[in-house]
Structure 1
């Protein structure tokens, strides 16, 4: 074979390599905007875990009413209403004791998730139990429950246990930041929520006219705590209305474009707005999910400043790996990799690590495609291919208070006969 036949191929490869090198500065800028500090990821994990606990405690007060055969949604109704794709572990029994056990189990998983023990595996367990709980009685769900599911799902493809966790203590080393398709998906998801909601609100009459918040707060069911106070200040509500619309419509500009301290300031502004929702509106875990979704935008300069303000005696009390007792052993997969290396199977160990990293990359890409496709269908004339267009897959509809807030409220009425009642 003539060696000169390979010359064109070498020339093409050389030019492509040169082009790739020239794009280095641009690639660096893009990477910096999709990199997430691992401390922020730890804060996301803790916030999501606490949100799961808050949600469980809130639902536990109506456990018998909504999740047992003695309530308004017994298994006989569940089985008629929902099919295989709504399979719920909670529906294996309609007895109160079983629901109490499932709630306790979910709470234990949430606690383990908060402390970062086997973070990804435990997080997957939290997600399964959350889906199961939601499938048991979808009549008591809202957009906040969907947001919690989605953020938890997307977050699991990132290293949530890299810092501030039992896993980190056992590992002994941690990266300062991570940039991957997983972190890109985690950053893009809230932008899709905000952008989609801004587009849907634009189709209404009241949000961009500054009137929507006043209408929303006059709904007695939705306004709580400070919401019942600010309703008497229409000028303030108009200002807050325009500020909220600005945050939604400008989310890409405010959160994704800047880096460093400016990005952290923007993230804190969003967190402050969501905290305001907690004390003014009855929208379930929606504001808590929103807070968790923007925490990844907190950057190293802000977190460094925050860490310097932590009292030294607090830092000294932090546990070490030796204080973990039986939990101090490295994870099973780490021990297996070490065993392979000790037996001169370095190639197999390296292949396993590379395979896991590649799998997370693929999952990150698929999540990005999923969220972009279904969000585009929700706000435009784009249609998702029929092969994947299922209601259970379409979880990117973010129409809370859109196109306009409701000026009325409604409730479910369940007709039933009470056993043992003598008329």
Structure 2
């Protein structure tokens, strides 16, 4: 019978060549696992940092809630959709134009960020935070900077990372013995490492002007930007030729240090060197330039790369604090019967054990395919930023805009701005008094302020003013002028102190090489020569 047929074929012999091939593949697999393994505890620290940054960012943004996100601010919804909206964008913040609705969404966003930080239903709240932050960034593109792009991308990749398995409320559900190892290797981890590599390597490639890689004068020009420079940065201007050495170090730090993530031997030490180097690099930026949360976001982004040897050194202290927090959480949680407890009580002991064993999910093939696509897509996007032809992206840019995985790491690229200056907001009241609304009690002056950066409430406002200086953004100046006028008039009890007219004047000062003086030039950015409606 056919079922009893015994095959007479001899089993294939394993040749020395095939053994060598298998050995080589096994070696490459081990090298890949070693090179791109991440520590679950490091990912947890990054998750906590991301949650804290989101909360801090929301607090800062909330101080200008009406100005930046409502229809009575600098970018009403009608103007957003007319000039700054991409048809592939989505945003829950565009549901309404009132500041009250925006405040409610801010609050919900903050709750999601807090749940992410403490690791409660981590994957769900990572997704919700990503949706909220994506929506927030799409609502007002004029106040965004590179750190915002990185924060958004950390949340995107975080949806696929197991960054809730330590130092979280979720981790209280499983025993540490269920995790065979703290090392984590997957396509999502590989994507995260690639993303950090892209940030710095492509940032260096985009700095293509001679002042970065030939003359080494980029930091001289950067520290002459009075809108950005800190008091410490002004002191560094006295270094003269020493700034050339600092420019050299800055450029090659971004160009070379990312390759430390790809060294296949002494991986932990090279990765630690990269993390330390980048933390010091961004501390240096924060000490010399006012760039908001940019340095903090970048520091948080590399926490997930801390190697296992570092975590093992810190483990005892981490575990002590974590165990105390979880014990407190369990004591409080035991006072209430939750849906999860009711579900647990309905399970048999054997079924509960099975849930624990399968708590750490593996990537499904469809998820792996999507992550692989995004890795290649973001690589091509960064290559396209170098003005190189990338045909596959021509008809697929909508994907990047929809998911907001579009990115551009071009701070001070290809060259540092040479134009600098300060603003004068000149109004004339109904009574005929001319005044600068930023200093209404003082005389009108066009002299350079002692600290130019003090004009800006925070980095969001600085970035907005930087953007409206560009000619292709000049149409936004009308709405800025209207906002300032209405805000001033709303505060006046005497109708004679209201201003029907406001001029936005920019005192442009061009930085010249070798500390040469440059007299400022007065430029009228906008003249609101029509009577604006009074605000009651």
Shorter-chain TM-score bucket reads 0.7 to 0.9
Corresponding residue of 1:97: 100
Corresponding residue of 1:46: 48
Checking the alignment, whether the CA contact within 8 Å between 1:374 and 1:395 is kept in structure 2 is yes
Corresponding residue of 2:257: 251
2:159 maps to 1:156:
yes
* Larger mean Cα displacement after TM superposition, 105-114 or 310-319: 310-319
Offset from partner CA, 1:155-207 (integer Å, 9 cap, x none): 22110101111111122234411011110111111111111111111x21111
Say which structure is richer in helix.
1
Corresponding residue of 2:379: 372
**Distance change >3 Å, CA 383–CA 299, structure 1 → 2:** same
**Distance change >3 Å, CA 73–CA 311, structure 1 → 2:** closer
Offset from partner CA, 1:326-356 (integer Å, 9 cap, x none): 6999996xx69x9699689x8x999998775
Offset from partner CA, 1:276-324 (integer Å, 9 cap, x none): 222322223322232122222211112222335x399756634336235
2:404 maps to 1:397:
no
Q: Distance in 1 between matches of 2:297 and 2:324?
A: 30
- How far has the Cα of 1:254 moved from its partner? 2.3
Aligned mate of 2:534, from 404, 420, 423: 420
2:248 maps to 1:242:
yes
Checking the alignment, whether the CA contact within 8 Å between 2:153 and 2:405 is kept in structure 1 is no
Corresponding residue of 2:210: 205
Aligned mate of 2:137, from 113, 127, 134: 134
Checking the alignment, whether the CA contact within 8 Å between 1:341 and 1:349 is kept in structure 2 is no
| Larger-gyration structure (1/2) | 2
Q: Distance in 1 between matches of 2:65 and 2:334?
A: 35
Corresponding residue of 1:277: 285
Q: Distance in 1 between matches of 2:189 and 2:33?
A: 10
Compute the RMSD of aligned alpha carbons: 3.6
- How far has the Cα of 1:26 moved from its partner? 2.5
Q: Distance in 1 between matches of 2:17 and 2:419?
A: 64
Aligned mate of 1:294, from 297, 302, 305: 302
- How far has the Cα of 1:246 moved from its partner? 1.6
Q: Distance in 1 between matches of 2:96 and 2:273?
A: 48
For residues 373-388 of structure 1, what are the structure 2 equivalents within 5 Å?
A: 373-379=380-386, 380-388=388-396
Q: Distance in 1 between matches of 2:282 and 2:312?
A: 24
**Distance change >3 Å, CA 48–CA 234, structure 1 → 2:** farther
For residues 38-117 of structure 1, what are the structure 2 equivalents within 5 Å?
A: 38-81=40-83, 82=85, 84-117=87-120
Higher relative contact order (CA closer than 8 Å, sequence separation 6+): 1
- How far has the Cα of 1:372 moved from its partner? 1.5
User: Which runs of 5 or more residues in structure 2 are unaligned?
Assistant: 421-465, 469-476, 483-530
**Distance change >3 Å, CA 224–CA 21, structure 1 → 2:** same
Checking the alignment, whether the CA contact within 8 Å between 2:258 and 2:274 is kept in structure 1 is no
Say which structure is richer in strand.
2
- How far has the Cα of 1:41 moved from its partner? 0.2
Q: How many residues align structurally?
A: 416
Q: Distance in 1 between matches of 2:339 and 2:156?
A: 22
Q: Distance in 1 between matches of 2:7 and 2:240?
A: 79
User: Which runs of 5 or more residues in structure 1 are unaligned?
Assistant: none
Length-normalised TM-score, structure 2: 0.69
**Distance change >3 Å, CA 243–CA 83, structure 1 → 2:** closer
**Distance change >3 Å, CA 401–CA 311, structure 1 → 2:** closer
Q: Distance in 1 between matches of 2:322 and 2:356?
A: 36
Q: Distance in 2 between matches of 1:328 and 1:255?
A: 46
Q: Distance in 2 between matches of 1:115 and 1:184?
A: 25
Q: Distance in 2 between matches of 1:249 and 1:22?
A: 31
